[in-house]
Chains A and B, each alone.
Chain A
């Protein structure tokens, strides 16, 4: 198809005003279906393009920066598909959750401005519906831009273009958190903006060093040119640090529990599985592919850094009482797996890391949706106040178990397929190099999976099993808008766990090409 990727990226952006108007004038449901339709269409485009192999599109841009292009290859297509599939599915989930949130905020504002509360209930209800309409219009518009930013980043073929998309996904993200988050949302929104923006600036420094040295920002040119050694090392480190903030690896992770804990749950479910993993995409594309020599020097650092993140995130997840913060720390730990796999510097390890991105997207998506259903239906997010919910919300419980199994890496979920390939890669390099450090890292990494299992099972036990507290007697299952998306993802993770070739073929093809084996 002509302009397929161009459509896939820009259609959501161009049509987002319509979503806004629809929401404002008509109501949340049409806006939701409209958003869903756009994203479904673009998802189909992306999947269709991915099926036909590598797709590349180039459009003229400015002279300074080079071409504006899109590239969908073995590396980018799993990222692109997961980003858009999650975005599409979460549109449905957004509606009930966000309406719940709007109602809450409306009541809050009513309390703050008691002047209007004297009016009759009829006026109030129309005021409420106007409020909901206006907010949902804005929400879906921002949502579309957010999705588009993520996709653009993984398809970009130019450093500047990459940077622009990287920042584009940040802005709607900031607004979504600052407008509809929980807790001190404006402060947390700003924290998100500052941290990731600071990371992006460091990233930009790295880009500029490379781009100005070779005189072009195009990926194609970078791939072919020889960059002086000193420039490469510094810029690689700058890029790694910049992307490390996005990945929320150890030492740069502190923003993530706040943001994922506070963001509206559908957005958490996008931020955590889809967005932060883009940092890993960046490392693949920019460091592994473009700077292979530097990568092989740095890989052991990535490896150990990944291990520390895995263990640290897991240990902190054990200590959380807020469901969403627990999941956020779990995401940090999972990003550690990704970095661990990248650091293994072998075809299988890299492929495993990318499989982990997919699998974490599916699993953590399910788990965040679980958290959202509990927030909406139970009204609390504190694990200590929950218990015995399996009997009250069976579908959520089943999906949550599947999601947790995916994160734990238990077959037949896709988590296992990611994990064993990842660890095989780590072992391969450890043996090939005869490195004790790598061997120890491999062993500790495997042990960390037991830690992952511990916090996940403990979470399940405290939420779904055990005695039901009295205040939970009347809890009901979430609506179909909320459960159906979970079920889709749960089915997908099992299919992928049994038949990983869907993604693995493309990934292996790309990875073996990159490392030149």
Chain B
């Protein structure tokens, strides 16, 4: 299968594919023991195991380069004949490396960020458990095993969101006392964790329904087996079950990746330690949904060759992505909490990836959108993890999650300032020098050229979102680093706190990622072409999806931009310039006061309120799915369970028996005449019956 003999100096082995996810689990298992011996050692052990896992992932890289794969199976549940195994193909190898190396960097960061926490052992346990589960999702060869990892990351996410389970005020998110539609918009960590777990469970319920449907027709959960034949798909589409099954499967991705309408948990997830937000709620777990779509998308698309069309699936994916991208970006513009802004941004960027993967299935060039979506996943993982870690440093230093409590920090935290600009430019898509630009541009191009009826509206949403993205990123940097020092900081300095740069173990990891954002960005186009070629080979070999090589059309663009779509390029340049320009006016140059601007007329005021209240989506979900069911359950408990069931069947029965006993007792008169009378009446009755 090797198409190109680039040749790395080592070979991939199946052992490495197992080790990638078993090592972190092993680390988690020994963590409590190590914590008993020495709290300090736990950090080193965690970093060490994370490194070993990442190295194992790296040793699989030859597979991606050569376009080959490793697929090893073992018997798992013999009673049903299910096999488990690892599947390391280019897709999973790239993903495993993204996850592995970013988790390694975040682990280093955590040693600084979590220093001195007395529950540190528990933190490392769940972090390692998380990495293991995430790599399990990536490297599994069947859906059931994926689901194990899927719920594992959900569990770790729940545990880490509510890591500071004592619910101190500082660990909350939201503004105290603020309400939306009568419901508090202020969440404790334990509440947030529960919300995340239950909301993603709704997605998981859909996912398992989809999995079971596929298993019913295909008799297998295995990806390779599903790729291998089309009989199952023929049977499914004959009964109209194909699209529902895959849409249900996508429901899992909606939950896990915080897509509309299950997006609301991600914001409250910010109650967790920032290292957790960076790893789980920015770089890896929320990408699991994207990865799942990347796993099953080609399977569905390849069915098109057999005449089984599932366009609705891709349309739903694209539209869910587009709606989420816009919906969350708008809310990011107005929120005062730095981590929440980043969280909104994460959901919004994942929306982009979903859009690209969806649009890919609607076009003739599947590989274009596929590469774009996955490239954006990689670049987003880098710059968003970097931004989150930098935000963690800010929180650490300032002691507040509100950007209004920061301001003017560019002098005292120079490194963080620089790295945040670098990563922020990546998020904004600064032209030609950042990975974010190339990946976003690729998405624009694939949406624009997809040639289906939705291309233009989707493209418009994508561009609008890009403008908003550039705006809120500039706003964030402006509010944190520019302008005068806030009252909070002045007060801190008066109290003798020195505002200083974060420690070495903290800034190095996000520095590396910020530099990589720019560094890979400089060679972004060739990176993209490399990825494109790799996926071309992968899709061709594994799924039989052919890609037509675009003819070198005469283009108005200069040579170094060969192969770029001019419309997409223009749109991304305009979007970047507009967004950063507006942001500059309000927050860096500070020529217009944003507060006065918003309050200047009723239109801006109401829009601002709508965004700040999260489009009322969160409140509506709470009213419909928390308040109303609880009210209903209380009513049933009070008026049915307690009365009809409890009183009626226990006390009522008791009373009826007692009453019956009294009646019977009343007949025991002890007067022989009355007995004789009844006896006589009975006799008469019997005689009458006999006579008739």
Which residues of A are at the interface with B, using a C-beta cutoff of 8 A? 191, 251, 253-255, 258, 312, 315-316, 318-319, 348, 351, 388, 390-391, 405, 410-412, 416, 420-421, 423-424, 427-428, 431, 442-443, 446-447, 449-450, 453-454, 457-458, 461, 464-468, 500-501, 504-505, 507-509
Contact = CB atoms under 8 A, between A and B. Distances in A.
Contacts of A467: 166-167
Nearest to A508: B79
Nearest to B641: A316
B155 A405 contact: yes
A16 B239 CA distance: 61
Nearest to A423: B212
A450 B165 contact: no
Contact of B209 (A255, A412, A446): A446
A447 B191 CA distance: 21
B194 interface: yes
B216 A500 contact: no
A423 B208 contact: yes
Given A390-B165, A420-B212, A449 B205 contact: yes
Contacts of B144: 420
5 contacts: A315-B636, A416-B148, A446-B209, A457-B194, A468-B166
Most buried by A among B77, B154, B188: B77
A410 B636 contact: no
A442 to B, nearest CB: 8
Secondary structure call for the B interface: helix
A464 B159 CA distance: 12
Interface of B: 77-80, 144, 147-148, 151-152, 154-155, 158, 162, 165-167, 188, 190-191, 194, 197-198, 201-202, 205, 208-209, 212-213, 215-216, 239, 241, 629-630, 632-634, 636-637, 641, 645-646, 649-650
Contacts of B212: 420, 423-424, 427
A316 B79 contact: no
Nearest to B158: A457
A273 B194 CA distance: 26
Contacts of A447: 205
A14 B546 CA distance: 76
Contacts of B646: 254
Contact of B147 (A411, A446, A468): A411
Contacts of A501: 77-79
Contacts of A316: 633, 636-637, 641
Given A465-B167, A501-B77, A412 B152 contact: yes
Given A315-B636, A319-B637, A427-B216, A505 B79 contact: yes
A455 to B, nearest CB: 9
Nearest to B190: A465
A390 B166 CA distance: 9
Nearest to A502: B79
B201 A453 contact: yes
A446 B165 contact: no
B650 A254 contact: yes
Most buried by B among A255, A466, A468: A466
A264 to B, nearest CB: 21
A400 to B, nearest CB: 13
A286 to B, nearest CB: 24
Contacts of A312: 636
Nearest to B122: A394
Nearest to B202: A450
Most buried by B among A318, A449, A465: A465
Contacts of B202: 450
Nearest to A461: B190
A318 B152 contact: no
A318 B158 CA distance: 20
Given A464-B165, A466-B190, A453 B216 contact: no
B250 to A, nearest CB: 16
A388 B188 CA distance: 13
A446 B212 CA distance: 12
Given A427-B213, A501-B79, A450 B636 contact: no
A253 B166 CA distance: 37
Given A466-B165, A504-B77, 10 more contacts: A191-B650, A254-B649, A312-B636, A315-B633, A315-B637, A410-B151, A427-B213, A431-B216, A461-B191, A466-B188
B644 to A, nearest CB: 10
B647 to A, nearest CB: 10
Contact of B80 (A253, A390, A454, A504): A504
B245 to A, nearest CB: 11
A505 B632 CA distance: 42
Given A390-B165, A431-B216, A504 B633 contact: no
A433 B215 CA distance: 17
A465 B162 contact: yes
A508 B78 CA distance: 10
B473 to A, nearest CB: 35
| 9 tightest Cβ-Cβ pairs between the two chains A and B | A504-B79, A465-B165, A465-B190, A315-B633, A319-B637, A508-B79, A411-B148, A505-B79, A457-B194
Contacts of A405: 155
B210 to A, nearest CB: 11
B80 A508 contact: yes
Contacts of A391: 166
A504 B78 CA distance: 9
A116 to B, nearest CB: 35
A287 B127 CA distance: 49
Contact of B77 (A449, A450, A458, A500): A500
Most buried by A among B239, B632, B633: B633
Given A254-B645, A466-B167, A507-B79, A457 B197 contact: yes
Contact of A453 (B77, B197, B629, B634): B197
